[in-house]
A and B are shown apart, each in its own frame.
Chain A
């Protein structure tokens, strides 16, 4: 059984989706969807904890390169475990925050959600370039629909804009894969990286990499290509925005790492193409522009969305260093930010459920009324800033170390400076929650009682983000192994 784990974590959500549509039962569909995500997470964690080296699974029984190979290394197992776990947490919100016409047709919502999970998991585990594209499109297409299910009409435009940009990104990836295939004659990651040496001086190869990088850059929301993100994250239903915030850009980041490390090779990408020189300035702009915009957002979820653009800047900054330490920091930050941002979106969902609106000023003075929820937000915010004792500190520290090891202290200074901006936008929420008088004329709160569906998962994730900050060797050691095996195989 355990040899099938790589395919099972994709297959369980992928086959639960038609099951949900077939059974057509509103309540059952929620149960099945939750179970499927949990099972997928179990498979991913089992694999992540028991593997001793990269696992290869030949689909259809064909040898790699002839058939499609699933290939899970430490980093892949780590990302897969994060994605499926966050899916399990996010789906606990159910169809909250969706438009009314979803009522009675929840099974399609859950089916789309499951397909989205399956697509992202598939992208992580597959070792075949074209298979990546197929899974990418499964997850993208379901994401567009899920985003459109948000309550306001702006969700529709956010979804359609995402569809245009996302499809262009996907098609760019397709062009890149095609050119790569034309140059190497194969689609398998290992085979491509073995062949790329012979063709790396050719202009077609350069262009292939450029198209893959730009296509994934759109999906990853790298700075000038990020326009889809704020709308999509702030308008989507709560389960969807919590899930996307923690996973979508992270999986694309992991793909970009794999394109750089596993397909084209670090030496080629950084020494020949000078990819770092393009990525570094964009990352810096993203770090500052994203965080600055977050400060001025009127709504909680938009604030968190812009903060994500800034955080993507840290991720790409780590990659642009082109060193093992950078990769290590990037992978750590991927996990840290996934946990933190999902927790914050879940808390935002809980607040919105209480006050019925996601405008920041509606939260005025609610800190005393919801002490635990507000405390959760503060702790999550501290992790976003990177305060010691939180998981955000662990990853930011690794990033600083990587930067200093690369002999660029001014970068370390810029990272600290942009963290100050994070302090500002987090404190802005804290100020509203604790130091403002409650609105005298606010409409009454929707619910008086706590609503466990979103409190429990949010609380658990906050505990995780603090716990991993205290016992920081747990993630650090695993990720260090992952980065080492990824990078070691590349040079």
Chain B
């Protein structure tokens, strides 16, 4: 049964990947990346990697799809032209894939419980982490304590991502509209009025459902934050889910509105605080005479209590920084003032450049339909009318 499910999921993944490669409509392609992530999260669940599945679903299917849509509203949504099969690329791929297949030939059987990989350290964590740390979820024990420095570095990567996006895109925000106005509403649209879809912000159903859902998403985020010790979850997943609530708010009520309520200047500080909490816990342990991140010294008489405190604090730091960075990244993309420069394309000989609008690119009817649906999303994602960047 398990094998059958795995096979089906792999077939789905492969189909998604190949269609993704061939799809020239980038909105459709970004949806396909979301599908790919979601299906792979299913695969991880089948393979009992629940924490990985949870994170992949939240990050790959959620955040990264939204980011891609936000990017597409600032760039083009159609790949310029079909490219022939690239033989050098194919050669590299065949070589790399061949090497990996060659490497699998001496691997232990899939699922072999006696494989070396399940030996010493994995055995140690399974046998001893209950006594030494006392959390039901071994993954949390390992990532926050045994391998706490990896997670500290991982939080560093998140912090770098936030800093980088701010540095790259933070400089040019769209002007904040006066409150009460719905941005994007009064923008001139190149589309005839009759063809224009209702703006997502004008749909009462969407607005109401979003309003009802927001508190529950936030509540769920806190639950995941606190429950990471007992089941799948923890600071990272909680941070992403908390950010999702804000991103949903931004999608439905407009990113300007989000920025008005949650000023990025404040989020920048919050993003720094989380990393400092994590590092601070480690430094306090050093001051108390232990090593960096040696939580046991907090309560010398009963080290496992110290581990509970330490893990709680570092997970809190992770949650704070991750949620702040995710909101910052979304808000920075979504409030970036779109460039009005027309698209530059090269003609067949790569010699002279001509300027065409995205609307000139021939589309088959289904793609046209997809595009208008996608425009709707883009407007939600970026608060801009995607058509307005292309003067017709």
Contacts and interface: CB of A to CB of B under 8 A. Distances in A.
Interface of A: 4, 7, 11, 14-15, 17-19, 21-22, 24, 57-62, 65-68, 101-102, 105, 108-109, 111-112, 115, 118-119, 122, 126, 130-131, 134-135, 137-138, 141-142, 144-145, 148-149, 175, 179, 181-187, 191, 195, 199, 202-208, 210-211
B116 A18 contact: no
A208 B286 CA distance: 36
A400 B86 CA distance: 43
B164 A142 contact: yes
A182 B103 CA distance: 11
Nearest to B297: A61
Contacts of B50: none
B120 to A, nearest CB: 6
B156 A21 contact: no
Interface in B64-100: 99-100
A130 B150 contact: yes
Interface stretch (B141-149, B180-188, B240-248): B141-149
A186 B120 contact: yes
B164 A204 contact: no
B107 A101 contact: no
A122 B153 contact: yes
Given A130-B150, A134-B154, A185-B119, A175 B160 contact: no
A105 B116 contact: no
A131 B292 contact: no
A263 to B, nearest CB: 16
B33 to A, nearest CB: 16
Nearest to A109: B167
B117 interface: yes
A15 B291 CA distance: 16
B63 interface: no
B100 A182 contact: no
A204 B104 contact: yes
The 4 closest A-B pairs by CB, nearest first: A207-B103, A61-B294, A101-B171, A18-B272
Given A59-B294, A141-B160, A181-B117, 15 more contacts: A4-B292, A14-B156, A17-B159, A22-B273, A24-B268, A60-B295, A68-B148, A138-B160, A148-B168, A182-B116, A183-B117, A185-B119, A199-B116, A203-B106, A211-B99
24 contacts: A4-B286, A11-B279, A11-B292, A15-B276, A58-B291, A60-B293, A66-B124, A105-B171, A109-B167, A118-B156, A134-B150, A134-B154, A137-B157, A141-B160, A142-B164, A145-B164, A148-B168, A185-B116, A185-B121, A203-B102, A204-B107, A205-B106, A207-B103, A211-B99
Given A60-B295, A144-B164, A182-B117, A138 B149 contact: no
Given A11-B292, A186-B121, A60 B160 contact: no
B166 A108 contact: yes
B315 to A, nearest CB: 15
Contacts of B105: 203-204
B156 A115 contact: yes
Contacts of A199: 116
A112 B119 contact: no
Contacts of A66: 121, 124, 146
A142 B160 contact: yes
Contact of A175 (B100, B107, B115, B272): B100
B170 interface: yes
Nearest to B105: A203
- Chain A binding surface SS class: helix
Nearest to B104: A204
Contact of A131 (B153, B279, B282): B153
A51 to B, nearest CB: 18
B149 A101 contact: no
Contacts of B154: 134
Contacts of B191: none
B163 to A, nearest CB: 5
Nearest to B164: A145
B117 A112 contact: no
Nearest to A138: B156
B290 interface: yes
Nearest to A14: B156
Given A21-B271, A62-B146, A141 B118 contact: no
Given A11-B283, A101-B172, A185 B120 contact: yes
A105 B292 contact: no
B43 to A, nearest CB: 17
A26 to B, nearest CB: 14
A22 B269 contact: yes
Contacts of A202: 106
A102 B272 contact: no
Interface string B177-212: 000000000000000000000000000000000000
Contacts of A61: 290-291, 293-294, 296-297
A17 B166 CA distance: 14
B153 A204 contact: no
B161 interface: yes
Contacts of B291: 4, 7, 57-61
A115 B116 contact: no
A108 B167 contact: yes
Contacts of A205: 106
A355 B15 CA distance: 56
A204 B166 contact: no
Interface string B256-295: 0000000000001101110110010011001000111111
B146 A67 contact: yes
Interface in B199-247: none
Contacts of A21: 163, 268-269, 271-272
